[in-house]
Amino acid sequence: MTSSSKSMTAELPSYTIRVSDRAKCVRLSISIESGLEVVIPANYDRHKIPEIVQKKRDWIIRNQLKLDQREAFFQSQAPHELPDRLNLQSLGEEWKVEYEQVETKLRGIIIKEEQSSFRLILKGNIADIEVCKFFLKQWLMQRAEVQLSKWLRKVSNRVKLPYGNVAVRSQKTLWGSCSRDRNISLNYKLLFLEADVVEYVLLHELCHTVHMNHSDKFWNLVRKFEKNYKILDKSLNRSWQIVPAWLDF
Ligand SMILES: [Zn+2]
């Protein structure tokens, strides 16, 4: 091995191999949660993997860089502090968050919601930041479950693409996904994004009920309903900067 090829391999992160019954071919994925993963079909010849990883090195380095930038941005956002407002752009709502220390034997926090003035008041042992965050996240999840489900139903009716169930989840890097049974899951953090970007995510997942990939056929279907899909997809890629850092800390 020459020294230059050595440094080429040194740049690549180490990877784990995951066998998937559903995988038809080799696929690479990279995320904060799992790092670099090589997903292979059962009975796949593992000797081929190092070569495949080398072939994909540009893609790996590019995406690793994106994740590194994301982490650096995240760390600069004072994630340990509690928020004094929640800007739910998708719904056009900006909530003011207030904290009130109240003597209580319970560890929990009560959230009082004042719809008319968009005020949330957290009462209880507010010195416990982790507990406050937990209850704020719960509140956001519930709001997302109601609002995003309604929204998905509306878009589905408009484009006439039916789906199975919808679930709202908390994921660090994934905005949404669609299973083979046409069940759609959506990230509650979509609440913080702009409405047209959220609408694009809903449409994108609904188009996956027809095409389970990112083939030309898939993008043609997306284009049929949303001409600006490329611009929206780009904004979506940048959108993690809008999500408050305290949520993931
Ligand atoms: Zn997709």
DSSP 18-71: EEESS-SS-EEEEETTTEEEEEEETT--GGGHHHHHHHTHHHHHHHHHHHHHHH
pTM: 0.74
Give me the residue spans of the domains in the chain: 3-75, 85-248
Query: How far does the centroid of ligand 1 lie from the alpha carbon of residue 3, in Å?
Result: 39
CA distance 45 to 25: 11
CB 191 within 8 A of CB 144: yes
Please state which of the ranges 112-116, 167-171, 225-229, 240-244 shows the lowest mean pLDDT.
Answer: 240-244
Q: What is the pLDDT of residue 80?
A: 74
Query: How far does the centroid of ligand 1 lie from the alpha carbon of residue 71, in Å?
Result: 23
Residue 167 has pLDDT above 50, yes or no: yes
For tokens 């049974």, name the residue: 181
Nearest CA-CA partner of 95 in 135, 148, 140, 141:
140
Q: What is the mean pLDDT of the chain?
A: 89
pLDDT > 90 fraction of the chain, expressed in percent and rounded? 65
Structure tokens at 50: 């190092």
- Contacts (Cβ under 8 Å, ≥6 apart) of 201: 175, 176, 186, 190, 193, 236
Query: How far does the centroid of ligand 1 lie from the alpha carbon of residue 205, in Å?
Result: 6
Query: How far does the centroid of ligand 1 lie from the alpha carbon of residue 215, in Å?
Result: 10
Query: pLDDT digits over 128-158, tens only?
Result: 888 999 999 999 999 999 999 999 999 999 9
Query: How far does the centroid of ligand 1 lie from the alpha carbon of residue 222, in Å?
Result: 10
Query: How far does the centroid of ligand 1 lie from the alpha carbon of residue 197, in Å?
Result: 14
Residue 6 has pLDDT above 70, yes or no: no
Query: How far does the centroid of ligand 1 lie from the alpha carbon of residue 213, in Å?
Result: 7
CA distance 239 to 227: 20
CB 24 within 8 A of CB 41: yes
Please enumerate, as own/partner, the contacts of 93-99 that have beta carbons within 8 Å and a separation of 24 or more: 93/118, 94/118, 95/119, 95/120, 96/120, 97/121, 97/122, 97/136, 98/122, 99/126, 99/132
Q: CATH class for domain 85-248?
A: alpha beta
Query: How far does the centroid of ligand 1 lie from the alpha carbon of residue 202, in Å?
Result: 10
Please state which of the ranges 64-68, 119-123, 174-178, 206-210 shows the lowest mean pLDDT.
Answer: 64-68
Residue 233 has pLDDT above 90, yes or no: yes
CA distance 121 to 113: 7
